[in-house]
Each structure stands twice: as structure tokens, then as C-alpha cells.
Amino acid sequence: MAKDEDTQSLPEKDGKSAITRDKLEQSARREALGTGLRLAYQKVLNEPVPEEFSALLNRLSGTEGESGDD
């Protein structure tokens, strides 16, 4: 098993060890995932508020001021 670890840290043709390449690949995957999540979230933010939800918010904001008068 020690031989596996030794060969993983040896530089390849491009001068980077397997561990370094793994870290770079992991970083690239995280960046791609983050980009995808930001795009998906931006689409949700741009969607209109459903009418039922908007009406509920309006009713709640209208009754909020009246509840303190009772």
C-alpha cells in the first residue's frame, strides 16, 4: 500500500502529482456545481410570484396592523 501512495505523489508528464490533479479536478467540479446552482436559483428568482401567494401576503399585511387594535 505504501507503493500506491508513493506512485500517486510522483509527478507525471505534466509535472503534477496525482494528488494535485485530484485537488484540481475537485475544485473544478465544485466550481461547475456552484455555477449550475447559481443559474438555477437565478431562474427561480426571476419567476413571478403566484397569485394565491401574493393575495395571501396582501391579506396578512392588511390584518397585521388591525390585530393590535383588539
Q: What secondary structure does DSSP assign to 26-62, as a single string?
A: HHHHHHHHHHHHHHHHHHHHHSPPPHHHHHHHHHHHH
pTM of the shown model: 0.45
Per-residue pLDDT of the chain (70 residues; tens, 9 = 90+): 455 555 555 555 666 788 898 999 999 999 999 999 999 999 999 999 999 999 999 999 986 545 444 4
Rounded CA Rg of the chain: 27
Q: CA-CA distance, 13 to 18, in Å (whole number)?
A: 11
Q: Which residues contact 49 (CB under 8 A, 6 or more apart)?
A: 57
Element holding 2 (H helix, E strand)? helix 2-9
pLDDT of 64 reads: 55
